[in-house]
């Protein structure tokens, strides 16, 4: 985070904290880097002097402090101290070193898919804690996310509000940042946790492409696109595009939950970090228009955000057609051999799901078939097994005959040797004779 020197009009001490640098300024006030007597660094936010007398802004500031106190989790900055009754109300949170997501992408370009998924998983997990506290952030965007060495942190709950509250401060005026607002915020409807899910999807799209999924333009143009147009995700990595698209569904009830997002993004991050193929057995490419058009509608978004590893390849579009066309293109002899082989194998391993792939281990724990130069069908494997059986039988018979002949020859040699060493003369000295007595 960029730091600037204190200006002449900036205070030097606020409460028990000494101010050192200016971290930034927003619509509500100025954020300073300060420290207490023990040297603990804090980010201290002071409301602007011209707004200190405005009761509405004081109320917003009080909501921010209240929201920060109610939220407990590793993905938000911990509240340290606050004074809402001061002439210029202020509060201090734990200082988070590191650039914002906006600055990181603006300076370094789009982030790799594994890093986008890792950041998104941490943010989704943080939003779980935020929503469990009954708070909706309502202004989640890249500039409100700090990338610390310990992980991303969500900051600036200045417009946070309880679940179900309206998003209008004045009639016809939406609170938030165009391009990251949910359609229900633009219409002035009640906010829910799904509102933050929409903003998270837009934020991840920005991290993956360095641009808003609704392009650039004036506030009015951006708000119109959010409500009436589909997001542009052609440049989003194929491993992330379907999940981000599910987050940007117009109807809040059709978006996945933050818990589902956290689990799914963790899987994507782990797989992309190891360089493994996607769940459909293909390596993800930067752009795959055929998959971008598979966004679920209605309440299927929850199922869509589940682990895709729970789905077999047959559930993918075109899986059944590929299997049927492959079976039709086989010859009658190959078809009969496949049928006999499948009946024999089904008796040992059970039925095999249609569309199951042979290039990966089966989910039942069976050992995958050995790979050769090309894929062998069931008929070819049966013929090879028969030839191998005949060869083994011939070798066994030959070896048996050779062993029998060897034994017979050895016995014949032993008999001839005994016959040669035993003389047949009646007066042989080896024989015992009774002497003749006259």
| Catalytic residue numbers, as ranges | 139
Six-digit token pair at 427?
């007066």
Six-digit token pair at 327?
């079976």
Q: Is 395 exposed, middle or buried (0-12, 13-18, 19+ CB in 10 A)?
A: exposed
All domains of the chain, ordered by start, with CATH? 14-94 (3.30.200.20), 101-309 (1.10.510.10)
Strand partners, 29: 47
Q: How do residues 222-270 score in pLDDT, each as one tens digit? A: 999 999 999 999 999 999 999 999 999 999 999 999 999 999 999 999 9
CA 336 to chain centre: 42
Report whether pLDDT(95) > 50.
Answer: yes
Greatest mean pLDDT among 81-85, 116-120, 419-423 lies in: 116-120
| Nearest-10 crossing angle of helices 101-108, 193-209 | 20
Q: How do residues 5-21 score in pLDDT, each as one tens digit? A: 999 999 999 999 999 99
Region 31-46 average pLDDT? 93
Cα(41)–Cα(77) distance, rounded to whole angstroms?
12
Q: Is 154 exposed, middle or buried (0-12, 13-18, 19+ CB in 10 A)?
A: buried
58-72, 134-148, 193-207: range with lowest mean pLDDT: 58-72
Closest by alpha carbon to 26, among 87, 98, 82, 100?
A: 100
Q: Which residues have C-beta within 8 Å of that of residue 187, sequence separation ≥ 6?
A: 227
Closest by alpha carbon to 309, among 273, 360, 351?
A: 360
Report whether pLDDT(63) > 50.
Answer: yes
Report whether pLDDT(221) > 80.
Answer: yes
150 in a labelled binding site: no
Confidence of residue 216 (pLDDT cuts 50, 70, 90): very high
Cα(78)–Cα(32) distance, rounded to whole angstroms?
16
Q: What is the pTM of this model?
A: 0.60
Average pLDDT, the chain: 75
Percent of the residues in the chain that have a pLDDT greater than 70, as a whole number: 64
Q: How do residues 332-381 score in pLDDT, each as one tens digit? A: 444 444 444 444 444 444 444 444 444 444 444 444 444 444 444 555 55
Cα(385)–Cα(390) distance, rounded to whole angstroms?
9
At residue 254, the pLDDT reads: 96
Q: How do residues 261-288 score in pLDDT, each as one tens digit? A: 999 999 999 999 888 665 544 444 433 3
At residue 411, the pLDDT reads: 83
Q: How do residues 387-419 score in pLDDT, each as one tens digit? A: 888 888 899 899 999 998 889 888 877 766 565
């Amino acid at each position: 985070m960029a730091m600037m020197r204190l200006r002449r009009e900036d205070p030097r001490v606020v409460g028990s904290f000494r101010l050192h640098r200016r971290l930034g300024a927003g619509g509500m006030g100025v954020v300073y880097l300060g420290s207490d007597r023990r040297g603990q660094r804090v980010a201290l936010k002071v409301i602007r002097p011209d707004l200190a007398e405005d009761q509405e802004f004081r109320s917003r500031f009080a909501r921010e402090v209240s929201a920060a106190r109610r939220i407990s989790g590793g993905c938000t900055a911990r509240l340290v101290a606050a004074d809402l009754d001061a002439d210029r109300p202020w509060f201090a949170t734990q200082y988070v070193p590191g650039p914002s997501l906006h600055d990181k992408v603006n300076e370094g370009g789009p982030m790799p898919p594994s890093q986008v998924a890792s950041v998104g998983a941490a943010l989704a997990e943080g939003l779980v804690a935020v929503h469990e506290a009954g708070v909706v952030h309502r202004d989640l965007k890249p500039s409100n996310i700090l990338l610390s060495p310990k992980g991303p942190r969500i900051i600036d709950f200045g417009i946070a509000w309880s679940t179900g509250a309206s998003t209008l401060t004045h009639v016809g005026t939406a609170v938030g940042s165009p391009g990251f607002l949910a359609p229900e915020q633009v219409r002035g409807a009640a906010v829910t946790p799904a509102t933050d899910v929409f903003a998270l999807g837009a934020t991840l799209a920005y991290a993956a492409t360095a641009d808003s999924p609704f392009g650039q333009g004036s506030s009015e143009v951006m708000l119109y696109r959010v409500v009436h147009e589909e997001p542009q995700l052609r440049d989003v990595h194929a491993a992330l595009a379907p999940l981000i698209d599910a987050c940007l569904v117009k109807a809040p009830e059709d978006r996945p939950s933050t818990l589902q997002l956290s689990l799914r993004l963790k899987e994507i991050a782990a797989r992309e970090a190891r360089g493994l193929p996607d769940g459909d057995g293909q390596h993800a490419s930067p752009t795959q228009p055929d998959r971008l058009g598979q966004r679920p509608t209605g309440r299927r978004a929850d199922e869509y955000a589940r682990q895709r590893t729970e789905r077999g390849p047959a559930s993918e579009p075109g899986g059944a057609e590929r299997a049927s066309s492959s079976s039709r293109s086989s010859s009658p002899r190959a078809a009969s051999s496949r049928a006999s082989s499948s009946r024999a194998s089904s008796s040992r391993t059970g039925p095999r799901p249609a569309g199951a792939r042979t290039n990966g281990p089966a989910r039942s724990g069976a050992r995958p078939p050995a790979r050769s130069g090309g894929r062998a069908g069931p008929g070819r494997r049966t013929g090879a097994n028969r030839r191998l059986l005949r060869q083994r039988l011939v070798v066994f018979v030959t070896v048996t005959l050779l062993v029998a002949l060897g034994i017979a020859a050895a016995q014949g040699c032993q008999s001839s040797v005994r016959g040669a060493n035993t003389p047949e003369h009646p007066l042989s000295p080896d024989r015992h004779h009774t002497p003749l007595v006259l």
